[in-house]
Structure 1
Amino acid sequence: MFITRMIEEKRHYNRFRARTKALPANYRTTVEALERYIYYFASSRSTNLLALLDNLVDLFEDASANETPIRDIVGEDPVEFIEELIRNYPPSEWIAKERAKLTRIVDTATAGTGPGSDHS
């Protein structure tokens, strides 16, 4: 099952890359830059990564077909654009657990008195 899933994910990703390569140069360059940015979040969103990439390339394929300027898509702040898009894809379960664990540990560590606590 794991191997089958990995093979299908690789095929899915290869289709995404082919679609990206088919875009006009300026759209392709933008999608590739956004994709690189997304990879910083890939480990925490792995179950949603392919859906996110598909939606990104869908958006740019439509924009290219309609001759929509790139700035009309990403706005003046491409970081804000991609981070907002990423927020639409919840992190995988393991990273949510790790975030909760981190918060719990820091809350416990800062609940007491003495150096490093919030009550010193």
Structure 2
Amino acid sequence: MSIREIIEGKKEWRAHVARVKGLPQDYQIVYKEIQKYFFKVGPVELTEGTGLLSGIIDLFEEGAALGKGVLEVTGSDVAAFCDDLIKDSETYADIYKEYVEQEVNKATKKITDKSNKTK
């Protein structure tokens, strides 16, 4: 990553944060909880710019402009709202699960190969 890309990334993030701060207080609170949730769950695309998070801000700005409360936009189960947004996205948990399965398969194969050789 070049210095130019780092600088551009910081500019984009600052603009993103400014948009969040422009939302009504209840929207800001829910947005921050969604952001925390995504950072814990780990959708891979989250680290590729601010696309997913910007889309949420777009939705929130539209809801606020229509005078809706944030839970009218997300529904009362915010975690379910988040899960629905990333249901078709690969997560870091998925990647780790695949890694563990591969390691277990390698270890099982080695054990099987050793036991077949001793027969």
TM norm. shorter chain > 0.5? yes
Higher helix share: 2
Q: What is the CA–CA distance in structure 2 between the aligned matches of 1:86 and 1:97, rounded to whole Å?
A: 15
1:106 aligns with 2:104: yes
With 6-15 and 100-109 compared, the bigger mean Cα shift is at 100-109
CA shift at 1:10, angstroms? Answer: 1.2
Q: Which has the higher contact order (CA 8 A, sep 6+)?
A: 2
Shift in alpha-carbon separation, 1:34–1:46, aligned structure 2, 3 A: closer
Match of 2:63 in 1: 63
* Residues 52 and 89 in structure 1, CA contact (< 8 A), matched pair in contact too: no
Gaps of 5+ in 2: 113-119
Q: What is the CA–CA distance in structure 1 between the aligned matches of 2:95 and 2:31, rounded to whole Å?
A: 31
CA shift at 1:56, angstroms? Answer: 1.0
CA shift at 1:22, angstroms? Answer: 0.6
Q: Deviations over 1:26-70 (max 9, x none)?
A: 111111221122222458445435111101111100100011232
Q: What is the CA–CA distance in structure 1 between the aligned matches of 2:94 and 2:77, rounded to whole Å?
A: 27
Gaps of 5+ in 1: 114-120
SS of the equivalent of 2:50 reads: helix
TM-score normalised according to structure 1 size: 0.72
* Residues 48 and 89 in structure 1, CA contact (< 8 A), matched pair in contact too: no
With 69-78 and 4-13 compared, the bigger mean Cα shift is at 69-78
Match of 2:2 in 1: 2
Question: How high is the sequence identity, in percent, across the aligned residues?
Answer: 26
Q: Which amino acid is 1:101 matched to?
A: Y
**Which is greater in Rg?**
2
